[in-house]
Amino acid sequence: MKKIEMVDLKGQYKEIEQEIQKSLNEVLHSTKFIKGPDVSDLERDLEEYLGVNHAITCGSGTDALQIALMSLELNPGDEIITTDFTFAATIEVILLLGLKPILVDIDSKTFNIDPTKVKEAITKKTKAIIPVHLFGQISDMDEILKIAKENKLFIIEDNAQSMGSNYTFLNGKNKKAGTIGDIGTTSFFPSKNLGAYGDGGAIFTDNNEIADRIRAISNHGMYKRYYHDLLGVNSRLDSLQAAILKVKLKYLDSYNRKRKNAANQYNNALKNHENIITPFHNISRSSHVYHQYTIRVFNTNRDKLAEHLSNDNIPYGIYYPVPLHRQKAYRNDDYIEDNFKVTNKMVNEVISLPMHSELEENQIDYISGSIKSFFKNK
């Protein structure tokens, strides 16, 4: 059995090495490293894949969130509702722009933002909701869209972890993750389902006016060169990363199918275990692309299991060990612990197992066997 990786980027690269090298060489020979044709080609390919009018690339997933918020022309002190259980970038950009983050609790099954808590958190100052499609599964967008419409709120989807996932509405219609709200964002960090070989991100929208502002903001606030009409930033995806992503986008659905197959094998090995809850999948509403395979463990010490896995040379991740409302940088006296009962429970129970498109059956058997042996011998 080969060494188990949390994410096997090397194995994935070897499968497409010739295509990647060819694509990179074309950029190197062209010397069009910034705003080259590969960037516009990738944006067109993303638009076609997602079925969205505008795909605008940028420097990172964090930049994508910041630029999306900037494009809405909000005012200092405006409130943005988002989840307490996610990576820090989501709250970070809200605070950097002088806006006020309103953190709410999550659904215990999906780990995604709880729409009932969103509704309870709305005030006269609320301007937008940022649902994070965590671990590969889309939030309850029917309810979130309803709430946003009733209260005239923007929706920015943080789709860093669910690229390629499909959402089925109650009326039977389907849309890709990141194309449901007013704006969608994603990250091309190397470990993502669609990952570059460096930083990168993208923003998606069907709104022409918002798209124009996003393009200007990401290029120093310029609609026309050297005429700065908006306060902007410097956030571009370079041509080398675009060339890599153009190749990998063709394989995204295949990568996601392989992740689902690996998840099914984990599920079969770990189901009906009294100390484990395998990932919930709301099959009727959202496909699951398993950016992470995250289980819950209880009646035991999660960190002891992590230590056991490490001793068996099995990598793992704990996403996330501390909720945002308890992070030193974001603490706020307005937060009440009773409002985060689910999140506070999850941070002590969740552990993510190796998950990627190159994961082999014997590796999953070994990982599952190690987990079972831990509970058998405890």
pTM across the whole model: 0.97
Count of residues making up the chain: 378
State the distance between the two ends of the chain, measured CA to CA, in whole angstroms. 26
CB 178 within 8 A of CB 166: no
Q: Indicate if the alpha-carbon torsion angle 263, 265, 269, 272 is positive or negative.
A: positive
Strands annotated E in 178-277? 183-187, 201-205, 222-224, 227-228, 276-277
Q: Are strands 174-176 and 166-168 parallel, antiparallel or unpaired?
A: antiparallel
Angstrom distance (rounded) from CA 110 to CA 176: 18
Confidence at residue 377, expressed as pLDDT on a 0 to 100 scale = 77
Confidence at residue 378, expressed as pLDDT on a 0 to 100 scale = 67
Sequence-distant (≥ 6) Cβ neighbours of residue 247 within 8 angstroms: 16, 19, 20, 23
CB 90 within 8 A of CB 43: no
Confidence at residue 370, expressed as pLDDT on a 0 to 100 scale = 97
Tokens 């690269």 correspond to 13
CB 94 within 8 A of CB 101: yes
Q: Indicate if the alpha-carbon torsion angle 109, 133, 351, 337 is positive or negative.
A: negative
CB 164 within 8 A of CB 289: yes
DSSP letter (8 states) at residue 326: G
Query: Judging by beta carbons within 10 Å of its beta carbon (0-12, 13-18, 19+), is residue 375 exposed, middle or buried?
Result: middle
pLDDT (tens, 9 = 90+) of the chain, 378 residues, equals: 999 999 999 999 999 999 999 999 999 999 999 999 999 999 999 999 999 999 999 999 999 999 999 999 999 999 999 999 999 999 999 999 999 999 999 999 999 999 999 999 999 999 999 999 999 999 999 999 999 999 999 999 999 999 999 999 999 999 999 999 999 999 999 999 999 999 999 999 999 999 999 999 999 999 999 999 999 999 999 999 999 999 999 999 999 999 999 999 999 999 989 999 999 999 889 999 999 999 999 888 899 999 999 999 999 999 999 999 999 999 988 899 999 999 999 999 999 999 999 999 999 999 999 999 999 876
Tokens (6 digits) for 326: 């308890």
Backbone Cα Rg of the chain? 21
Strand ordering across the sheet containing 183-187: 54-58, 201-205, 183-187, 154-158, 126-130, 79-83, 100-104
Q: Over the stretch 85-108, which tens digit does the pLDDT of each residue have? A: 999 999 999 999 999 999 999 999
For 64, phi then psi, to 5°, come to -60, -45
Confidence at residue 299, expressed as pLDDT on a 0 to 100 scale = 85
Confidence at residue 49, expressed as pLDDT on a 0 to 100 scale = 98
Angstrom distance (rounded) from CA 270 to CA 293: 12
Cα 88 to the chain's mean position, in Å?
Answer: 12
Q: Over the stretch 143-192, which tens digit does the pLDDT of each residue have? A: 999 999 999 999 999 999 999 999 999 999 999 999 999 999 999 999 99
The letter for the amino acid at 188 is F
Angle at 32 between CA 31 and CA 37, to 5 degrees: 140
Confidence at residue 313, expressed as pLDDT on a 0 to 100 scale = 98
Q: Which domains can be identified in the chain, with CATH numbers? A: 9-104+111-249 (3.40.640.10), 252-377 (3.90.1150.10)
